[in-house]
A and B are shown apart, each in its own frame.
Chain A
Amino acid sequence: MSPTTIPALSVSGLAMRYGEREALRDVSFEAGAGELVAVVGPNGAGKTTLLSILAGLQRPSAGSVSRAPDEVGWVPQQPALYAKLTVAENLALFARLERVADPDAAVDRMLEQTGLRERASDQLSRLSGGNRQRVNVAIGLLSRPPVLALDEPSTALDPGQRERLWSFIRDLAGEGTSVLFSTHDVAEVQRYAARALVLADGRLLFDGTPAEFLAAAGRERQSGDSGEDSAGVPGGGDFEDAFVSFLRARGER
C-alpha cells in the first residue's frame, strides 16, 4: 500500500489463543482501497483464523480491526448457501437479512455482476461448483462492503472456473473493493495478488508485493546456501521454490 493512501482496512496487534496454542501472534497490516491482498502460508499458519476475525466469526484474544463486521463482506471456503433455494432466492434472502435498502435491486445487480442471470431460477443443488462459488462471493458483496474477505475461494474449482472467478474478483478490486484472500496456491499469489502477507505459525513473516517476496527469498537463499542450485529464484522467478525456501529458512516446513 502506498504510504499516502488512506487504508481501507487496518489491523493492529491481532492475537488469537486457543488455550495454550497461539493461532495468531501480534499480526498488524493495512490494506488500501482496491488492493488485492493474498494471505498465504502453510496449513495451520493462521490464515482462516485471521480472515474469520476480520469477518466477525471469532473474537480476537488481543488487537483491533478498524472495520466492523458489516463492513467486511465474508466469503467462506465452502459455499454457505441453501441448496434447496434458487440463485435469486439465496441472494434475496441474504439481501433482506443484511437489511439492504433495495433487496430486489441488489439481487439484480449481483445477477448481472456474476453473469448468472440465466440461472437465477435454478436451485443451488443444480449448479456447478464454480457457479456456486460465484453466488457465494456475490452474497458477500450484497451490501457493497468496502472490504471483502475470501477464505480459499478457488479450492475445488477446475482451471476454467478458477480463471473466471479470478477475473470476477479482479474486477471487484478494480471497482475499489479491498480484497483479502487466503490461499495455499502460491501461483495464485504471483498471478493475481498486488500484495502478499506470508503467515506461518501465527506470525506475519512477510508483507510486500510478490516481486518483493521473490527478491527477499532469493537474497536469503543466496546468502544462506551459495553452493546450492539457485535456479528458480530471482531472476529464475519460480515463486513456489522461493516460498518453500523462505519458510525453510525460518524453520517452517
Chain B
Amino acid sequence: MIALLRKDILILRRSRLTVALLVLYPVAIALLIGLALSRGPAKPRVAVVNETTPGARVEVGGRSVDVSAYASQLFDQVEAVPTATRAQAVAKIQSGDVLAAVVIPHDIAARLSSDVSQAHLEVLYNGDALEQSLVQSSLNSALAQANLGFSEQIQRAAAQAIGLLLRGGNLGVLGAPPNLVGLGQIPALLRRVIAHQPPGPDREALERTLAFATFAAENLTLSKTVLQTISQPIAVETKLLHGRRTPLDTFAVVVAVAISEMFIGLLLAAGAVALEREEHVLGRLLRGAGSASGRARGVLVSRNALLAEKSLLSAVCAFAVAFAMLAGIGAFVSLDWSRVPLWLAALALAALAFAALGVSIGALAREVRAASLLAFLFSLPLAFLALVPSGSVGHGLYDAISAVSFVFPFKAALEALDAAVNQSSPGLPVSLVHLAALVALFGALARVGLRRLD
C-alpha cells in the first residue's frame, strides 16, 4: 500500500496542471458561491415617471404628504431612474437600460385625497423570468408598504373622527355647528332628563333612545380598536426554537469550504481509481483475488487496501485544502478559533465521505474522463439540493430532496461543518455518525465496482 501511495503522489507531482485545476477551480467556484450567498441581490433599475404636478400633495387624515417625496421613499428598494415621460420609460425598458417602469399618474393625489376612489399606478416591465420575478417582488413589496402607509393615515383620520363623535366639541369641518354633544355624553344627559320625566309614552320613548345611544357609544369605542387591527392585522414575533442563529456570512464560509472539499475529494478519488483501470493495471494489481480457493496467493494489492489508499490520499488532500481555506477566510470573517478541534473532526470525516463516494464512482467508470464527468454530474446537483431551504418547495418535493441529500455526503458534511463552526443544529456528533455511515456505504459500493478488473 505504501508503494502504491508513493506512486500516486509521484503521479500527482507530475500532473501539476491537473492538480492546480483541481485545487483552483473548486476554490474559485466556492468563493463565488460564498459571495453570492453572503450578499443580497442587487437592486433592479426601475424608471419612475412622476406625472403629478411639482409640489402636488396628498391630504389624508388631516396630514399633507408631498407626492414626490413619498415616491422617493417608496422606491428605495429599487434603483429608481427618474424619467420624464412614459414613452421614454418604454424606450429605456426596450433598450435594456431599466428592467421596469412605474408611472405615477397626474391624478393620483386627487384620488388619494378623495378617500373614496382607488388610486392606480402603472407598472411596465421586461426581461427574462428571473428578472421579472425580481422586479415584481421588489415593486410589490414597495407598493405594499405604500398601501400600508396610506391605510394607516386613513385609519388615524377615521379614528380621530370617531373620537370627536364620541367626545363631542368642535369637529373642525366646514358648516358643522360648534360645541356638539358627543355620543358618549348622550346616555348620561338622557338619564338625567328621564329621572325628571313622569311615567308615560314620552318617558318610554326617551328610555328607548337612551338604550340606542348607550349601544352606539359602546360600539363606536370598539370600532377604533377594530380599525387599528385592520391597519396591521398580523404582527410578527420571531423566536428561534433550537440551535444558534448562523450569520449569513459565516454560513457562506461553511458552504464555500464544503463545496471545495467535496470537489477535491470526489474528483481526486474518482480519478485515482479510474486511472488504474484506464492504464489497464487493475487486473495486474488485483489478480488472484478472484481465483479459486487456495489460489489467492499472488494478489499484489487487496481491493480493500487499494480503496483505502485512494480514499486516504484524496481525503488528506481535500482536508488540507479545506482547512487552509477555512483558516484563510477566518482572517476576514469572525470565526470562533477555540472550536478548531471540532472543525478538524468535521473536515476529516467529510473528506473521507467525499473520497468514499469518489472511489465508488471511479470503480464504476472505465476511464478518468468519464469518472471526472460523473463526479461533476453527481456533485453539483447534490450541492444545489442540499442548499434548498425547507418551505421553499412543496412538502412532497422537499421530502424527496431531503431523502436524496441524506444518502449523499454533501448535506451531512455541510451540517457537520456548520455545527463545528457555527454551533448550528443538528449537533456535530449526529452529523459525524451520518458521515461515518456514508463512508461505510460508499466504501462497500466501491468494492463491488472493483469486481470487474478489465
A interface residue numbers (CB < 8 A to B) = 52-53, 55-60, 64-65, 68-72, 74, 76, 78-85, 89, 93-94, 96-98, 123, 139
**Stretch in B100-108, B196-204, B277-285 with 4+ CB within 8 Å of A:** B277-285
B297 within 8 A of A: yes
Complexed CA–CA distance, A245 and B291 (Å): 36
Q: Which single member of B281, B289, B292 contacts A64 (CB below 8 Å)?
A: B292
Complexed CA–CA distance, A57 and B295 (Å): 11
Min CB distance B305 to A, Å, is 11
B168 within 8 A of A: no
Cβ–Cβ contact A68 & B295, under 8 A: yes
Q: Which single member of A74, A80, A82, A139 contacts B11 (CB below 8 Å)?
A: A82
With A69-B297, A80-B281 given, can you name 9 additional A-B contacts, CB distance below 8 Å? A56-B290, A58-B290, A64-B292, A68-B288, A69-B295, A78-B280, A84-B11, A84-B15, A93-B4
Residues in chain A near residue B289, CB distance under 8 A: 56
Complexed CA–CA distance, A59 and B290 (Å): 5
Q: A85-B7, A94-B300 are in contact. Are A57 and B287 (CB under 8 A)?
A: yes
Cβ–Cβ contact B281 & A82, under 8 A: yes
Cβ–Cβ contact A59 & B292, under 8 A: yes
Min CB distance B307 to A, Å, is 16
Min CB distance A61 to B, Å, is 10
Interface residues on B, range: 20 to 34
Q: A82-B281, A85-B11 are in contact. Are A56 and B291 (CB under 8 A)?
A: yes
Q: A82-B7, A84-B14, A85-B11 are in contact. Are A56 and B295 (CB under 8 A)?
A: yes
Min CB distance B188 to A, Å, is 103
* Binary flags per residue of B37-55, CB closer than 8 Å to A gives 1, else 0: 0000000000000000000
Cβ–Cβ contact B297 & A80, under 8 A: no
Closest to B301 in A: A97
Complexed CA–CA distance, A210 and B20 (Å): 57
Residues in chain A near residue B300, CB distance under 8 A: 94, 97-98
* Binary flags per residue of B250-293, CB closer than 8 Å to A gives 1, else 0: 00000000000000000000000000000111011101111110
Complexed CA–CA distance, A85 and B281 (Å): 13
Cβ–Cβ contact B10 & A85, under 8 A: yes
Closest to B294 in A: A68
B162 within 8 A of A: no
B453 within 8 A of A: yes
Residues in chain A near residue B281, CB distance under 8 A: 80-82
Complexed CA–CA distance, A142 and B279 (Å): 19
Cβ–Cβ contact B4 & A97, under 8 A: yes
B243 within 8 A of A: no
Complexed CA–CA distance, A81 and B280 (Å): 7
